Amino acid sequence: MLTQKQKDLLNFIHKRVQRDGVPPSFDEMKEALDLRSKSGIHRLITALEERGFIRRMAHRARAIEIVKLPEAMGGGAAGAALGFQPKVIDGDRPDSIPPSAIGIQNNGAVNLPVMGKIAAGVPIEAISQVNSHVAVPGNMLSGQGEHYALEVKGDSMIDAGINDGDVVVIRETSSADNGDIVVALVEGHEATLKRYRRKGSTIALEAANPAYETRMFSDDQVKVQGRLVGLIRTY
């Protein structure tokens, strides 16, 4: 039996994983549940883990996996076994695979091009060529438009659950909402994976690691190349 706060937190985590492909930060959980400190979130997380609703993976930032949901929230298992390789964290989940998706296989997987590496750290040169392909579940692809994959280089998004060496699935788009994690092209030649914030004519590219500063640009210096919809991790 879960308390209302435990249910509220589990529901919030579930919705954020469905929307963003990664769990929320403890600060976001604290704000969503209107708690005064993160210690309350730690207690709720521990309680959910002890009751078998979530699983925490050691030595990884924000690595929370939903194992099951109460019947009132859909019930049943919500995550794969820990030993499964690779591990896939789904982003937005459409009812069907977009007709523009390429390389659809009989098992529902889709072969996406891996367009080199994307910097989750200091921006690297713009991505311009296909290095390989990766098979992803078709239901990970969200909305209309083409999708592609990128290998993450660096640790600036670690508090968003995105680690060095992960492969991110990106939906091509030239627009983004505040708070989206995007592939941003900076001044025409640097590509980086960051959280997007716009205020007037200024764009902030935020890291999810306190070791990295938020970078500020005028809107003509940044072009959104795509939005994060999923993540693939191998152990």
Would you state the pLDDT for residue 171?
A: 86
Of 224, 221, 216, 218, residue with least CA distance to 187: 221
CA 147 to chain CA centroid, Å, is 15
Would you state the pLDDT for residue 121?
A: 57
Considering the chain, tell me which residue range(s) the CATH 2.10.109.10 domain(s) occupy: 109-233
Active site residues per annotation: 156, 194
Q: What DSSP designation does 72 have? A: G
- Determine the Cα–Cα distance for residues 223 and 168; give it in Å rounded to an integer: 19
Non-local (6+) Cβ contacts of 217 within 8 A are 186, 187, 202, 203, 204, 205
Angle between helices 4-20 and 38-50 (to 10 degrees): 90
- Determine the Cα–Cα distance for residues 127 and 118; give it in Å rounded to an integer: 7
**Structure tokens that stand for 114 in this block:** 């891996």
**Structure tokens that stand for 190 in this block:** 């640097």
- Determine the Cα–Cα distance for residues 33 and 45; give it in Å rounded to an integer: 13
Given the DSSP bridges, would you call strands 109-119 and 167-172 parallel, antiparallel or unpaired?
unpaired
The β-bridge partners of 168 are 150, 231
How many CB atoms are located within 10 Å of the residue 84 CB? 10
Give, for all 235 residues of the chain, the pLDDT tens digit: 788 888 999 999 888 888 777 788 888 888 899 888 888 888 888 888 888 888 876 545 567 888 888 876 655 444 433 333 333 333 333 333 343 333 434 346 777 767 767 776 554 444 555 567 777 777 667 666 688 888 888 888 999 989 888 888 888 888 899 999 999 988 877 888 999 999 999 999 999 998 889 999 999 999 998 899 888 876 6
233 CB-side CA count, 13 A? 18
**Structure tokens that stand for 34 in this block:** 């209107």
The β-bridge partners of 9 are none
Would you state the pLDDT for residue 55?
A: 82
Considering the chain, tell me which residue range(s) the CATH 1.10.10.10 domain(s) occupy: 4-84
Would you state the pLDDT for residue 221?
A: 92
Given a contact cutoff of 8 angstroms between Cβ atoms, the answer to whether 10 and 48 are in contact is yes
Would you state the pLDDT for residue 139?
A: 67
pLDDT digits (tens, 9 = 90+) for 113-129: 677 677 765 544 445 55
CATH of the domain spanning 4-84, picked from 1.10.10.10, 3.40.309.10, 3.20.20.30, 1.10.1330.10: 1.10.10.10
Strands (E), 17-146: 54-56, 64-66, 87-90, 109-119, 124-125, 132-137
CATH for 109-233 is 2.10.109.10
Question: 0.75 cut: is pTM over it?
Answer: no
Would you state the pLDDT for residue 182?
A: 93
